[in-house]
């Protein structure tokens, strides 16, 4: 990923897309059709999520291999390490390497939902342990990404200490251990990201002050998904955003989506004007909103112009079926 990004022109914008492996055959068929179209939007890379504790290991690997080998997309495999055996991690890394996947998003993960396990169980306690392990076992073969939290990691929310500063020493540890890039948790308040970016870069112990930091953006696909995602990720919603959704339009998905596209495009423009070149989208496997953002955003549409935009911007008829799945994924 970083080799690819470094080859771009100085101010050339780029974006990446996150997908999750669907549970059903039908969901997978829909996703493959969508992936084919979305690849024409011109993402620099795609990422594939990994279920907590390795629950989706096989499906994640299958999807990542299809993205890399069949669709020819630069692919990044998410890998969580806590509550997971070393064998599962070894198998994922070995399979990725054997299939030409050269990028790993190294994460700690969480205990599975409904489980009584606590955090940090197993050989790897924190994401930094996985970064170190990958570097020790594979040298420079993998480009490694890690997670960052502009509003602080959620664990701090339980004891009211949630803030970006609390996690920073651990983020520095992850980068100094060999991480090449950072993807942030989703947010809706650009000022929080801007502050975070400068905080990260000003950390005295950070070895790579220019580490790539990609803002994580979740397009607004519907009011309830938007509320749920911001609640779960503890992302604050500024009044300027919230006020755009008065009660009478909250159940009108088309209207909410249209307003949401404007909000995300504005966020991109503001960040771009502050020097941010790359943007990561949490797609929830949905296509329409992303395609519209990319084809209308003054910053990103320049990328699409290089591709066959008619085909890429086409919306899919099967999408509404997957909105329910997206709500769960959010």
In the bound state with ligand FAD, the residue whose beta carbon lies nearer, of 78 and 245, is 78
How far, in Å, CA of 273 to CA of 71, rounded? 32
The tokens 């604050």 sit on which residue? Answer: 236
In the bound state with ligand FAD, the residue whose beta carbon lies nearer, of 81 and 190, is 81
Within 215-274, the residues that bind ligand FAD by CB under 6 A are: 216
Within 157-196, the residues that bind ligand FAD by CB under 6 A are: 166-167, 170, 174, 183, 185
Query: Residues 18, 151, 197, 287: which is the catalytic one?
Result: 18
322 binds ligand FAD (CB under 6 A): no
Task: Specify whether the CB–CB gap between 182 and 171 falls below 8 A.
Answer: yes
Closest CA to 109 of 142, 60, 44: 60
Task: Specify whether the CB–CB gap between 289 and 257 falls below 8 A.
Answer: yes
**x/- string (CB under 6 A) for ligand FAD, residues 144-163?**
---x-----x-x--------
In the bound state with ligand FAD, the residue whose beta carbon lies nearer, of 78 and 257, is 78
How far, in Å, CA of 104 to CA of 123, rounded? 18
Query: Taking the complex as a whole, how short is the minimal distance between the CB of residue 166 and ligand FAD, in angstroms?
Result: 6
Among 16, 30, 75, 80, binds ligand FAD (CB under 6 A): 80
Kindly determine how many residues on this chain lie close enough to bind ligand FAD according to the rule CB under 6 A: 23
In the bound state with ligand FAD, the residue whose beta carbon lies nearer, of 164 and 256, is 164
Among 16, 30, 44, 49, binds ligand FAD (CB under 6 A): 49
Active site residue 248: no
Within 106-125, the residues that bind ligand FAD by CB under 6 A are: 107-110
Catalytic annotation, residues: 18
Binding residues (CB under 6 A) for ligand FAD: these are 49-50, 52, 78, 80, 105, 107-110, 126-128, 147, 153, 155, 166-167, 170, 174, 183, 185, 216
């Amino acid at each position: 990923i970083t080799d690819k990004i470094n080859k771009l022109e100085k101010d050339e914008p780029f974006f990446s897309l996150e997908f999750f492996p669907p549970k059903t055959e039908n969901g997978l068929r829909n996703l493959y059709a969508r992936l084919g179209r979305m690849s024409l939007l011109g993402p620099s890379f795609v990422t594939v999520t990994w279920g907590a504790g390795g629950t989706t290991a096989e499906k994640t690997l299958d999807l990542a291999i299809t993205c890399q080998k069949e669709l020819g997309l630069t692919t990044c495999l998410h890998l969580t390490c806590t509550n997971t055996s070393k064998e599962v991690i070894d198998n994922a890394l070995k399979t990725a390497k054997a299939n030409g996947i050269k990028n790993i998003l190294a994460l700690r993960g969480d205990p599975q939902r409904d489980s009584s396990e606590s955090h940090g169980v197993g050989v790897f306690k924190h994401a930094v342990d996985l970064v170190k392990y990958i570097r020790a076992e594979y040298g420079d073969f993998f480009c490694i990404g890690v997670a960052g939290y502009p509003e602080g990691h959620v664990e701090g929310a339980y004891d009211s200490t949630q803030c970006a500063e609390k996690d920073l020493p651990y983020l520095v540890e992850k980068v100094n251990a060999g991480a090449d890039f950072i993807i942030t948790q989703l947010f809706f308040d650009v000022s929080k990201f801007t502050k975070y970016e400068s905080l990260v870069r000003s950390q005295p112990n950070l070895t790579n002050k220019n580490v790539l930091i990609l803002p994580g953006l979740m397009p607004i696909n519907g009011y309830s998904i938007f509320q749920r995602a911001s609640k779960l990720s503890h992302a604050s919603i500024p009044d300027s955003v919230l006020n755009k959704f008065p009660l009478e339009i909250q159940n009108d998905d088309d209207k909410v989506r249209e307003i949401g596209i404007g909000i995300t495009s504005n966020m991109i423009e503001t960040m771009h004007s502050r020097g941010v070149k790359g943007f990561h989208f949490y797609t929830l496997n949905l296509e329409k909103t992303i395609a519209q953002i990319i084809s209308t955003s003054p910053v990103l549409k320049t990328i699409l112009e290089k591709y066959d935009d008619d085909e890429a911007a086409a919306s899919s008829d099967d999408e509404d079926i997957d909105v329910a799945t997206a709500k769960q994924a959010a």
